[in-house]
Structure 1
Amino acid sequence: MRKMFMAALVCVGLVTACGAQNDPVEKAAADPSAPASSSEFPMTLTNAWGQTTVEKKPVRVATVSDGDTSIALALGVVPVIVPDVEDGDPVAEYKKRAMDELGVTRLKTFDDTDGIDYEAVAAEAPDVILAVNSWEMDAGYAKLAPIAPIVTFAEKDDADTLPWQERLKTAARALGLSDRADEVIAANRRTIADAAAANPAFKDKTYTYVVIHPEQVTFMSYGDQDPGVFEDLGLRKTDNAKNYSAKKNGVSLENLDQLDADVILVTFPFGDEGLLSLSELESNKLFQSLDAVKNKRFAVVPSENTLSSSIAYPDALSSSWVVEQLTPILAKAVAGA
């Protein structure tokens, strides 16, 4: 199964190709053309573990999470090494689009089954390491710091709550690509604004996004969760969202009424390993009693194409693709279809 739910994703047309060669290391080294002022460097960045200094505009960029890979690709940078989150599965559609735009057929990867492969990252001699989407910095920062400057978040809580736009801007500043980050954000805003304008029925509808994990039913749209595409499209979290957080997001079967909203979206990324199957959830008496379920304003979000993980953990590369995939699902749910 794809390694789902790792912060793990521009309008792809904004990604600027840097030549036609396919070797990721050579292409990364050949991409100094993106606009940046040398006066921006050296640059000292403060993060949750201290400070890091980027001496000059980076060329060789390593990433330690799928979300960081998405940031690099969204900015038009091909990393010298990335985690192998696909694990043999096809590359996510939005990532494939970006790679095609950059003329890259593959990315050099390290096996991330046991976390970051520090030796593999070091072997690529990166100028900088992107880690603004990684949950492994508590353990990993000290091991990565001797390899290259680490670009990560300013506060530890940002690992769960920092919007993708801020992650993108943090990384872009360290890469000397702030202007390009602004272009990416603006393009995504246009895509979302167009979708919202085409679906006025979304406005002010409450929603709950639910993930069926192996050990629990997870209230994923908790109070301080990055609102991502739902709220950008005009929806808003239910009042119950304030009762949940990144560290307190489990819903017992006796409390499934907590999920009720104008629209409920549920995803089953773990298949048979999930706590409940779709049929088991739909046959649950308490779930059946919810207004959203009785009025057919309940929909399943597919996980096989990475949509569910991209919704839960939005990033710079997947945002427009998520709008494209999610909007018709939401439209049917809002209409009770």
Structure 2
Amino acid sequence: MSLSVRRRPLTAALLASTTCLGLLTACGFSSETGSETGSSGSSGSEASAGGGSFPVTLTNAWGRTEVKEKPVRVATVSDGDTAIALALGLVPVITPDVEDGDPVAEYKQRAIVKLGEKKLTTYDDTDGTDYEAIAAEEPDVILGVNTWDMDTDYAKLSPIAPVVTFADKKQSDTLTWQERLKTAAKALGLTEKADAVIAANEKTLKDAAAAHPEFQGKTYTYSVVHPEQITYMSYADQDPGVFEQLGLVKHPRSKDYSANKNGVSLENLDELESDVLLMTYPFGDEGLLSASELETNKLFRSLDVVKNKHFAVVPSENTLASAIAYPDALSAPWVVENLTPILAKAVAGK
């Protein structure tokens, strides 16, 4: 699924994923190349210099950005941009308050502490980007490569500091986290650091897959219980995501589903049958049905995958489901760390 923009509440993020991004649409990751699967692989920005040399000039959908000196003070306008800064070893001078009172995601807090801080300085983003709060922090550069709001924000942010964003408006949805990371790294003079982050994430995936040969070739179905339907998220045209990077493969039935045809009715729950079935319930009682209602459903309980205990729930309350849906440079190792045990139990039938 594409990279995320400002981290919205998990329910909103996963609702959008059924209509816009899917499980990992346009954000597929190739562990061999670190590039987007199913896309042109364009980085989305062109720099006249990078990797530590300044000035750096980048083209974007609204003009050109020149970063004259290596930035020290970095502001971000989305959670994905904050993840990029932290992954590159930088604590932003200000970020949007995307948690809305909820605890900070574990992987983000780990990175913050590792960089010597307890928490981030934030602004209230309830009504969108707070330009005055950002300006007050006097940033050297503003990262906006993971936002859907740049069409509105650019004109108001660019007088504050150079804005690093994508070259084409369409790329707000289509760039991989690797491409976004590399774009930001060019402007920050941290290209080698970005390459190291990507390589480390590749190694994490390869090592996890090698440690679990039992995953290889097992068919899987991943579904999300949304307010109006049970959504077949692992449809055939969906870009390969973390499940497949760990060795699973889509069920042949996935060819019957697409981004625009992904609903599974209660009368057709047998469509979820697979070697491994993974579900998540981000909406709780506000979903089409609760976890207990689905898991006590007679047809659901009759599925071989359920009877043989190859069924597992991907938790939403700890942000794992959201992190799978919206991967970024910071969350990938944590996703593998938390997802692998769930898959291992499901494959083993425990």
TM-score when normalising by structure 1 = 0.80
Residue pair 2:60, 2:168 contacting (<8 A) in 1 also: no
Residue pair 1:6, 1:66 contacting (<8 A) in 2 also: no
Aligned with residue 38 of structure 1, among 44, 49, 53 = 53
Q: Distance in 2 between matches of 1:238 and 1:50?
A: 44
* Matched length: 306
Which amino acid in the other structure matches residue 45 of structure 1? T
The 5-angstrom pairing of residues 1-337 of structure 1 reads: 3-4=9-10, 36-39=51-54, 41-47=55-61, 49-223=62-236, 225=238, 227-241=240-254, 243-245=257-259, 249-337=262-350
Shift of 1:192: 1.6
Deviations 1:263-300 (A, max 9, x none): 22111122222222112222345544544334322111
Unaligned runs of 5+ in 2: 1-7, 15-49
Q: Distance in 1 between matches of 2:267 and 2:159?
A: 49
Q: Distance in 2 between matches of 1:154 and 1:255?
A: 43
Q: Distance in 1 between matches of 2:71 and 2:145?
A: 16
Q: Cα gap change, 1:36/1:51 in structure 2, threshold over 3 Å: closer, same or farther?
A: closer
Q: Distance in 2 between matches of 1:258 and 1:53?
A: 52
Which amino acid in the other structure matches residue 107 of structure 1? L
Residue pair 2:52, 2:191 contacting (<8 A) in 1 also: no
Give the 3-state SS of the residue equivalent to 1:140 in structure 2: helix
Bigger mean CA deviation after superposition, 271-280 or 143-152: 143-152
Residue pair 1:163, 1:228 contacting (<8 A) in 2 also: no
**Aligned residue for 2:40?**
none
How well do the aligned residues superpose, as a CA RMSD in angstroms?
2.7
Give the 3-state SS of the residue equivalent to 2:344 in structure 1: helix
Which amino acid in the other structure matches residue 76 of structure 1? G
Q: Distance in 2 between matches of 1:204 and 1:161?
A: 28
**Aligned residue for 2:30?**
none
Q: Distance in 1 between matches of 2:246 and 2:264?
A: 26
Q: Cα gap change, 1:298/1:129 in structure 2, threshold over 3 Å: closer, same or farther?
A: same
**Aligned residue for 2:45?**
none
Q: Distance in 1 between matches of 2:149 and 2:261?
A: 20
Bigger mean CA deviation after superposition, 234-243 or 90-99: 234-243
Whose relative contact order is higher, 1 or 2, with alpha carbons under 8 Å and at least 6 apart?
A: 2
Deviations 1:53-96 (A, max 9, x none): 33332222111221211111010011111111222222211111
Which amino acid in the other structure matches residue 312 of structure 2? A
Shift of 1:166: 1.9
Residue pair 1:161, 1:226 contacting (<8 A) in 2 also: no
**Aligned residue for 1:24?**
none
**Aligned residue for 2:37?**
none
Q: Distance in 1 between matches of 2:245 and 2:172?
A: 21
Identity of aligned residues (%): 70
Which amino acid in the other structure matches residue 196 of structure 1? A
Which amino acid in the other structure matches residue 46 of structure 1? N
Deviations 1:297-317 (A, max 9, x none): 211111221111111111111
Q: Distance in 2 between matches of 1:3 and 1:98?
A: 21
Q: Cα gap change, 1:204/1:223 in structure 2, threshold over 3 Å: closer, same or farther?
A: same
Give the 3-state SS of the residue equivalent to 2:142 in structure 1: strand
Unaligned runs of 5+ in 1: 8-34
Deviations 1:193-247 (A, max 9, x none): 12111100111222232222334333333455553321221122334545323x6
Deviations 1:158-196 (A, max 9, x none): 444433222211221221111001111111122221211
Which amino acid in the other structure matches residue 53 of structure 2? S
Q: Distance in 2 between matches of 1:42 and 1:141?
A: 18
Residue pair 1:217, 1:250 contacting (<8 A) in 2 also: yes
Give the 3-state SS of the residue equivalent to 1:38 in structure 2: coil
Q: Distance in 2 between matches of 1:301 and 1:65?
A: 25
Shift of 1:101: 1.1
Give the 3-state SS of the residue equivalent to 2:289 in structure 1: coil
Residue pair 1:161, 1:224 contacting (<8 A) in 2 also: no
Q: Distance in 2 between matches of 1:155 and 1:223?
A: 27
